[in-house]
Amino acid sequence: MRKGQIVLSIFFAFFLLDKSQPATAQIYLKFEPAHSIKLNPGISLAAVGDVMLGSWVIPVLAEQGADYPFKKTNRYLEAADIAIANLEAPFTEDTVAFEKKFNFKVPPKYARGLLAGGFDVVTLANNHIMDFGESGLLSTIQTLDKIGIKHCGAGEDLYEAHQPAVFETNGKRIAFFGYSMTFPTEFYAKKDSSGTAYPEPELMQHSLEVWENFVDFTVVSFHWSAEKRETPKDYQVYFAHLAIDSGADLILGHHPHVLQGIELYKNRLIAYSLGNFAFGSYSKLAVDSIILKAYLNDDGLQYAQCIPINVDNREVEFQPALLDGERKEAVLCKLSTLSLNLNNGRNILGNSGIILGDWAGFHDDWLLNIAVSTFWNSGSTTDIIESAKSGTTEPIRKSGPVL
């Protein structure tokens, strides 16, 4: 479905001194480094955190159009095979709200903005999708079905809520599961009532193990932790590891509205919190976030990149924008620090924002040139080379490309 096709090459480029020859040439090399490298990743995936288009956003959408929040980021999402977000408010016109402090909803006519933004699938497993009850949830599901965006994490009953959204691209099948672990517990689906999917361990484990036989990749999203918390709680680590042990290939977290660290576990990436994306608030604490782009193959993570974005609505007015310069570096530095304890002190994230899978643990005497003809610009090649050569054990002492 996506426009960008993954092409990877290992090459050695050099200048020819003979003026009668072209200035440069490419020689394709065959070599065998210490670790086997598979350079044919199965899928590319882009993930963002919370999308809440209600509240303060609605009058902006009315004036600027449904695609307004995504105009500065859609090219990066569209370039991936699949893009996913956490949809934090129902698309409904209902007026009867659940009794709690904050209730959000969005007129269904603005749902088409998600398509313009490049999204293919959303998770509904969160603490706001049931703000307007079953009718609000069903209206959301009908709206998404109408515009062709897949969804997971909530449904008419327990069975439907726990069903994955299955996506096929590039000859690969991907299952997306969504789970909510946040209050109110009344939002959890039951055998005979609608709601969100709660990851009861045995049920989640069974679902993932069964679906592993029918798909090539499994992505699991969790709505968990506490708002504004920058470190994962013990139960987050437990459930993330359990999901991977049961067959998950990528774990995506949200709800804190701020970034939490990233972990590599069994060569599967865990993003404990992706922070906010387009979110209808003016919080002074939720101001920076990332777009996570990942390549997955049969061995798990091939590589990923964290792209810092500005989500401070006092500056961007509900339209996330890419960061550059010192602020970009500061976000990556903080994310690297938050990730250290999750990886036994190993720095998996350099200043470039690139994370390499376990295949990249080769020795300093190996020179690996990886050309990335993908949704990242060609400038990223240098960063990947430097990450590979250093094994990402130390931060890369230079700025990454401005994307």
Domain map of the chain by residue range?
7-39+351-390, 43-343
As a whole number of angstroms, the distance between CA 399 and CA 330 comes to: 11
* DSSP secondary structure code for residue 225 in this structure: S
Backbone angles phi, psi at 382, to 5 degrees: -60, -40
Q: Which CATH architecture has domain 43-343?
A: 4-Layer Sandwich (3.60)
As a whole number of angstroms, the distance between CA 237 and CA 113 comes to: 34
CB 197 within 8 Å of CB 165: no
Among residues 241, 243, 251, which one has the least CA distance to residue 221? 251
CB 57 within 8 Å of CB 28: no
Phi-psi region of 321 (alpha: psi -120 to 50; beta: other; left: phi over 0): beta
Strand (E) or helix (H) holding 250: strand 250-254
CA angle 250, 277, 400 (to 5 degrees): 70
CB 86 within 8 Å of CB 122: yes
What integer pLDDT is reported at residue 106 of this predicted model?
Answer: 98
What integer pLDDT is reported at residue 360 of this predicted model?
Answer: 59
* pTM (2 d.p.): 0.83
- Coil/strand/helix, residue 172: strand
As a whole number of angstroms, the distance between CA 297 and CA 6 comes to: 12
As a whole number of angstroms, the distance between CA 43 and CA 5 comes to: 9
- Which residues are within 8 A (CB) of 326 and not within 5 positions of it... i.e. 6 or more apart? none
Rounded alpha-carbon distances, angstroms, from residue 356 to 77, 176, 294, 304, 362: 20, 23, 10, 7, 12
Structure tokens at 55: 């509240």
Q: List, in sequence order, every residue forming a beta bridge with 85; answer none if it has no partner.
A: 122
The torsion defined by the Cα of 340, 283, 180 and 112, in degrees rounded to 10, comes to: -110
Among residues 400, 380, 399, 349, which one has the least CA distance to residue 8? 380
- Coil/strand/helix, residue 322: strand
- Coil/strand/helix, residue 186: helix
As a whole number of angstroms, the distance between CA 28 and CA 43 comes to: 24
User: Which regions in the chain score pLDDT beneath 50?
Assistant: 1-38, 362-382, 384-385, 387-403
What integer pLDDT is reported at residue 18 of this predicted model?
Answer: 35
What integer pLDDT is reported at residue 350 of this predicted model?
Answer: 75
* DSSP secondary structure code for residue 135 in this structure: H
- Count CB neighbours of 23 within 10 A: 7
The total number of residues shown for the chain amounts to 403
What integer pLDDT is reported at residue 378 of this predicted model?
Answer: 34
CB 358 within 8 Å of CB 375: no
Structure tokens at 65: 């159009």
CB 338 within 8 Å of CB 258: no
Adjacency order of strands within the sheet including 24-28: 24-28, 7-15, 370-373
Rounded alpha-carbon distances, angstroms, from residue 171 to 157, 168, 201, 358: 31, 7, 31, 25
CB 118 within 8 Å of CB 81: no
CB 97 within 8 Å of CB 131: yes
As a whole number of angstroms, the distance between CA 393 and CA 356 comes to: 11
